[in-house]
Amino acid sequence: MASMGGSESDVSDLNAVSVLVVEDNWHVANAMKAALEQLGMRVLGPAATTAEAKRLAVEEPPKVAIVDINLKREMASDLIKELHAQGVRVVVASGYAVPPVSKESVAAFLHKPFSGQELIITMRRVVRQLH
C-alpha cells in the first residue's frame, strides 16, 4: 500500500496510470518516457505537436498529461485547457518562471530543467489527487 507519508521509493500508486507526454525536444521527451515507464506508468506519446497530442488523447484518454507549454511552432495553452476540461490532470513542464496558462487548468508545474526525482514527486502528488 502507498504510504501517505510521501516515501519516494514507493511508486506503486503510479502503476498502470496512463500519462500523455507532450514535448517537442526529442531527448527530453524520450528521457521522460523512459523515467515514467520505469515507474510503471503507461506512456502515450511522446507527442511533439498539439495536433498529435489531441489525436493520442482521443485514441486513449489519459489520466495525466505532462505538457511543455512552448512547442516549436505553437503554444500549448489551448491544449492544456482542453485536456483539463476532459478531466485530465495536467502537469506543465516549462522554462518560463510564470507560464502563460490558467492556474485553474493545471495540477502542477515542473520548472525546466527538472530532475528525475522532481518528476517522480510531482507525478505521485498529482496521481494521489485522482483518488
- Position with higher pLDDT, 58 vs 9: 58
Question: Does position 5 have pLDDT exceeding 70, yes or no?
Answer: no
Question: Does position 10 have pLDDT exceeding 70, yes or no?
Answer: no
What integer pLDDT is reported at residue 9 of this predicted model?
53
16, 78, 108, 130 from 51: Cα distances, Å: 25, 11, 22, 26
What are the helix (H) ranges across 14-115? 26-38, 50-59, 77-85
The stretch 56-70 carries a mean pLDDT of 96
Show me where the domains of the chain are located: 14-128
CATH number for the 14-128 domain, one of 3.40.50.2300, 3.40.50.620, 3.20.20.30, 3.40.50.1980?
Answer: 3.40.50.2300
Please report which confidence band the pLDDT of residue 95 belongs to, taking 50, 70 and 90 as the band edges.
Answer: confident
